[in-house]
Structure formats: C-alpha cells, structure tokens
C-alpha cells in the first residue's frame, strides 16, 4: 500500500476538543482500512492567511501531520469525509515525500553554444 | 564546491560572478537559516519546510524568483516552484509576503534591493 501524508489544519480549540477531533479522524482513517504510522503536532499557530471553512473565518489553527498507509481507492472517500467535518479547516492528502526517489542533480550542464548556432541539417 | 567553480569557469563571465557569490558560507551553523546554493547540495524538497522555501520568494510581494536570480538548474527550479505553490495552497506558507520570522535570512538569490 502506498504511503500518504495528511496535512491537517484543525480549528483552534481547547485541548479535549482537539483530542476528540483527532481521535475521530484517525478512527475514520482506520475504518477505511488505513494503517496509521505516526501523528505529529506542528503546534498551534497563526494561519498564513485568513481562511474560511464551513461559514466561519479562521485566523489561527492547529497543524497536524498524519502519515499512514492506505489503499489507493479510499483516498477519495477520506477527503470527502474530511471536507464534511466542521472542525477541519483544510485537509490535504499527498503522497509521502520520503517515498519519492531522490535523483542526483549534476547542476547546470554547460552546452556548447557554437553547435547550436548553425542549423544542423543540411538545407538542399 | 570544486564542482561549482569548474562549472563557473566553463560558462563564461556573467555566470561566474553568480557562482562566486555562491561560495560564501555562513560562519556559524547555529544561525537560523540554511544556505542552499548549488543544486547538488539540495536533496529533497517537501512542502512543509517554510525555511527553505521562503528563501526563494520576494519579501515584499511574495513572488517566486526566476531561474536567473536563484541560479538553480532546470529540475530543481521546477521542484522548488511546485513545492512553494503546494505549500501556499495547503496553508503552510503565506502567498503575498514573506513570513517575518524568515526576513533575517542570508540572501541566497542574486537580487539587490534599494536600502
């Protein structure tokens, strides 16, 4: 199963309510057959811009990262579920960045420009 | 570093100045910022890292610097741009300005503002 990352922005709430929202989210993930690997809290901070969700304007939010393994078909239903939850400001599921291959980059390769100056094919 | 200098000598004078400024390093790594300069230094871009991505946008308008300013190669420039756009949409990075926390970073891009 491929590895996904859920970048979740929750409404700025008190601690027990945040905990309840997270528990709800993770249980919904597990109901759809996902295996949750790790949950990180990036802290509650001011949002970079004012966001409106579910007819409310938000200035602050709690940032959470959930990485999990899930079958590919359930990602859509998960996004739909999260968009219906009123405590969630912005849900985003992306492929986990650590699973992407890192290719070696050689930098800018110098191209011999004299060859490009003249037309290579011989004109009749 | 040697690879950077070799490339610089191959490309001509204009690019050489670009790479010469690049070899400046921060003396103390305890500082807040990361100096990304040549593409080979640069392994993977994730959209969570505001610190790395904020170095490539303008502090006044928040627009992403082009290739002639950042000095990155084609692939990395594209990756950085995509990561910046993704971070902005996902709600990790502001769009129209640079986060004030990162304003004191050393300059990575080749742009000079009037004081």
For B3-12, write each residue's pLDDT tens digit.
444 444 334 4
pLDDT of B96 reads 92
Chain segment A95-114, per-residue pLDDT in tens = 888 888 877 777 777 788 88
Strand, helix or coil for residue B70: helix
Q: Which CATH number goes with the domain that contains A14?
A: 3.30.70.60
Cross-chain Cβ contact A107/B90 below 8 Å: no
For residue A17, is pLDDT > 80?
yes
A48 and B91 within 8 Å at the Cβ level: the answer is: yes
Average pLDDT over residues A68-78: 90
Output the pLDDT for position B42. Answer: 60
> What's the confidence (pLDDT) of residue B107?
82
Residue A2 has pLDDT above 50, yes or no: yes
Residue A66 lies in a domain: yes
Residue ranges in chain B assigned as alpha helix (H): 2-11, 13-22, 50-54, 67-70, 74-90
Question: So where are chain B's domains?
Answer: 49-102
In a domain, A91, yes or no: yes
Residue A45 lies in a domain: yes
Record the tokens describing residue A94, joined without a space.
Answer: 């992306």
pLDDT (0 to 100) of residue B84: 93
Q: What is the pLDDT of residue A117?
A: 81
Q: Are A18 and A88 in contact (CB under 8 A)?
A: no
- Return the pLDDT at B40: 57
Q: What is the 3-state secondary structure (H, E, C) of B74-106?
A: HHHHHHHHHHHHHHHHHCCCCCCCCCHHHCCCC
Residue A43 has pLDDT above 80, yes or no: yes
Quick check: B90 and A90 CB within 8 A? yes
Give the number of beta-carbon pairs within 8 Å between A and B. 69
Instruction: Name the fold adopted by B49-102.
Output: 30s Ribosomal Protein S18 (4.10.640)
Dig out the tokens for A121 from the structure.
Answer: 């094919």
pLDDT of residue B10: 39
In a domain, A111, yes or no: no
Segment among A68-77, A81-90, A102-111 with least mean pLDDT: A102-111
Taken in order B47, B50, B56, B58, the sign of the CA dihedral is positive
Nearest residue in chain A measured CA to CA from B92: A48
Over range A61-86, report the average pLDDT.
91
Average pLDDT by stretches of 10, chain B with 115 residues = 42 40 36 48 74 89 89 85 92 91 84 76
Indicate the pTM of the whole model. Answer: 0.74
Return the pLDDT at B33.
Answer: 41
Q: What is the mean pLDDT of residues A5-32?
A: 91
Per-residue pLDDT at B39:
62
In chain A, the residue whose alpha carbon lies closest to the alpha carbon of B11 is: A110
Q: Is residue A17 part of a domain?
A: yes
What B44-49 contacts at long range (C-beta under 8 Å, 24+ apart), as own/partner pairs, is B44/A97, B44/A98, B44/A100, B44/A102, B45/A97, B45/B79, B45/B80, B45/B83, B46/A97, B46/B83, B47/A7, B47/A94, B47/A97, B47/B83, B47/B86, B47/B87, B47/B90, B47/B92, B48/A7, B48/A42, B48/A65, B48/A97, B48/B87, B48/B92
Instruction: Note whether A97 contacts B44, CB cutoff 8 Å.
Output: yes
> Rounded mean pLDDT of chain A?
87
Sheet with A88-95, side-by-side order of all strands: A35-52, A57-69, A3-11, A88-95
Q: What is the pLDDT of residue B38?
A: 57
Q: How far apart, in whole angstroms, are the C-alpha atoms of residue A78 and residue A88?
A: 13
Q: Which of B41, B90, B31, B87 is nearest to B64 (CA)?
A: B87
Can you give the residue range of the structural domain that contains A88?
3-99
């Amino acid at each position: 199963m491929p590895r996904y990352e859920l970048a979740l922005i929750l409404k700025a709430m008190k601690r027990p309510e945040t905990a309840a929202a997270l528990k709800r989210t993770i249980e919904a993930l597990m109901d759809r057959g996902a295996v949750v690997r790790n949950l990180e809290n990036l802290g509650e901070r001011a949002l970079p811009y004012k966001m409106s969700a579910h007819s409310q304007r938000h200035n602050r939010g709690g940032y959470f990262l959930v990485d999990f393994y899930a079958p590919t078909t359930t990602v859509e239903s998960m996004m739909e579920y999260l968009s219906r939850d009123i405590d969630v400001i912005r849900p985003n599921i992306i492929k986990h960045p650590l699973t992407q291959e890192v290719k070696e980059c050689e930098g800018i390769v110098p191209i011999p420009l004299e060859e490009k100056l003249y037309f290579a094919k011989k004109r009749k | 570093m040697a690879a950077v200098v070799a490339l610089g000598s191959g490309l001509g004078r204009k690019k050489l100045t670009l790479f010469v400024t690049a070899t400046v390093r921060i003396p103390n790594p305890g500082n807040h910022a990361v100096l990304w300069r040549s593409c080979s230094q640069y392994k993977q871009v994730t959209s969570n890292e505001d610190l790395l991505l904020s170095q490539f946008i303008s502090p006044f308008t928040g627009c992403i610097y082009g290739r002639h300013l950042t000095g990155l190669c084609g692939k990395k420039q594209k990756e950085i741009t995509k990561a910046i756009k993704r971070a902005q949409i996902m709600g990790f990075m502001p769009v129209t300005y640079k986060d004030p926390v990162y304003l004191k970073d050393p300059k990575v891009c080749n742009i000079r503002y009037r004081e």
